[in-house]
Amino acid sequence: MGLRRIHTDKEPSLHKVCKPVTSFDWRLHKLLNDMRDTLLDANGVGLAAPQVGILRRVVLVDTGEEILELINPELVSTSGEQYGAEGCLSVPGRYGWVKRPMFATVKAQDRYGNWYEAEGEELIARCFCHELDHLDGVVYTQVMDRFLTEEELEEL
């Protein structure tokens, strides 16, 4: 198992713009495998490479049916709107109110460099947007309205 340390929002790597992936080699495959292990171990929904200290445009999203590997992802389209609680493995124990699209489509490359599109609604759309923000150095605390109170957390 290749677990990597998840960086917190206090660390500089989470506030930098990531570079595109250009080599689809064993190093990328190792990163993807390690990120998968780390995501599953942390019981998260998504994980971006800068969260493990790698400034490359790589994201994993657990849809509940599969773990999508999104390399050099781009948001193609969004629609609708949802407003709800959002958390982050890099901001442990805190949740904020964030507005996101209800539906999102992303275009990305797989581990071999092949382009494909993936769609998601509700939580997956939220996750796509949240993780792609990480690739541009944005943590959800920068786009949230406010943190949830202890009472609001208990209600959820």
| Residue of 81, 122, 131, 152 with catalytic role | 131
Helix, coil or strand: residue 98: strand
* Torsion 119-122-124-127 (CA) sign: positive
155 is catalytic: no
Which token pair is 111? 């581990």
Give the C-alpha separation, 78 to 63, whole Å: 17
* Cβ-proximal residues to 10 (8 Å cutoff; 6+ apart), any chain: none
Q: Which residues are catalytic?
A: 131
